[in-house]
Structure 1
Amino acid sequence: MRGSFSTDRVPAKDRLAYWSDLVCGVFVKLDCRSSTRHSFNAAMQYDTLGWLRVVGAESNAIEAVRSHRQIAKGYEDDLLVSIQIEGQTQLVQNGREAVLSAGDFALYDSERPYSLRMSDETRLVCLQFPRKELVGRLGPVSPFVARANSGKGGVGRFFLDLARVLPQRASEIEGNAVRSFADHVIDLLALSLDCGHAGSLHLASSRSLMLARLKRVICDHIRDPELGPALAARLGGMSVRHANRLLAEEGTSLERFILSERLACCASVLGSAKFDHLSVSEVAYSSGFNDASHFSRTFRTRYGLSPKAYRLQKRSKPKL
């Protein structure tokens, strides 16, 4: 799902409140304040690549604070990365402070309080993604949080060059390539963060490589109704037992992971207006389900709504 917002047409006295509501809706719950309250201006463009959210934003000076109170209100267990394009940002978390200038980036954790203080004429890109995606590559992330990383050279430069164009070009990635591309973005982020922490990265471990390969072939074949545990394991070059052992480390199994990916695929299609011509049953069958009733039951269990109600809810969200 993609969108863009601007305060240009909002009355000056309401702009900060409007922006605060937007940020809470797109990212995590935050308190926003600005010394330029009556002349505040900002704009945002966002998109998603599977489980990876990509946001480009620019604004006047603003401070965003995530407190224990805000954490208690939400249910997010995500990590975020801010990539500074212009201006300067001060990030404070875990007793550490990172000052980001153009070309720098830093990781922060939605489950811990933090503050972001941005200078006037700031432009940045932010990535938001489930914690497990980076933990599976780096292990515990606390050593990497609130540390400024340079994107001016080395691996960091490759990550920066990719990240800065994602808000404008993420929509060019389609179909089965979406989830694989998101994996590659986080692979590159993990390599960039690990440059100053030799020995902690797990990307090269055989278990991580096998798990990544298994997930990739499942995503690539998720629309095949014949894809079950046996076929997925064979395509991944391992036994069902070994595949289940790998996925058990993430609290799931081969069968549950395939079901979860199929449901996520359906949710993505139902949430997109360009597929409104497809009936709910057609969405289910095109994502590998062969029983519409089973699909409806499992979808409701996962998302708390029937597929039809989920689609209607996505369409009824107000255009801010």
Structure 2
Amino acid sequence: MAVATRPGREAAPDARNFVPFWLVSADVGRDEASTLSRRILGRNVAREAAAPDLPLPFAARCVLTTRPDIGLRSCFAPASHWIWPPEGAGEGTRHGLVRPAEGRIVVGQGDRRIALRAREAAVFALDRPTEFVLAQPGRIDVIELDSALLPSLRGDAGLMQVIPRSNPGLQALAHYGALLLRGLLPLNSAELQALAKAHVHDLIAAALADREPAAPAAMADRRAGRLAAIKADIEARLERRELGVEMIATLHGVSARAVQKLFEAEERTFSDYVLERRLDRAWHRLVTAEGAALTISAVAYEVGFGDLSYFNRCFRKRFGRSPSQVKAQAVNGET
């Protein structure tokens, strides 16, 4: 998609710098785009582009992609009705994969109709008009596919068929795509980016090869798996002071209440868990050689606290000693 770079913004980076990149609707202000970037990525992305003349996919307000572009799109605040226009004739038919992160969508192509629930997916051809009707839209994930990397899509095999959310290949694809879009993999060469793109297509091929619903896992197992994934995301973001339940809920495509309920099963709150992990990390920093040169305030801010007095109170309550006492005992070899 051609875009015009906003004044004062950098042009798209070369293959040595694989980074998240926002495509922003012309009617979205910079403050709104920055707020969304912080909520999704935990930081502002320095590079963004406006598309005043070309519509974004699903007429979304903002689209998160990458530069260089490897075909991944997360479309935020999409329209409730949108028609994907057919592509012009080229070298063979191209395809796309669509996956609603939340809500439901009905996909229509010719006389075929399918309905997708949150986190289900389907592959469709791009050489004909495709209609999308969205209920409770929030975010739609799209991958523009290279048909040469998916020989199983020759003909109409695999097209316009629901891939269930329990499909192992689709689940792996969702997690891998999230890592790519958040810039968490250092793919800073054309060779690595080509490998990542090929792996995306391999995961899609695996998902298409097994569209039967997986045997239902026990409810407790599903909840445990979701909670483990949430805790991993918390661990990766502990140092961010803006870390909160809304950020984590958005990352996982669920409501904040759903996240809170997972922690309630452990008889604690989301905030309790974050506080415990920050305090445990602070303790570790204070008693290890690497943290010996750090001040108490530096340790507090490093693990995500914004108020030194609050950190000291919480630390003493949890461990029965002040941070300075723990550090002094560690220096003297008493911890």
TM-score using structure 1 length: 0.46
Q: Which has the larger radius of gyration?
A: 2
Q: Between Structure 1 and Structure 2, which shows a larger proportion of helix residues?
A: 1
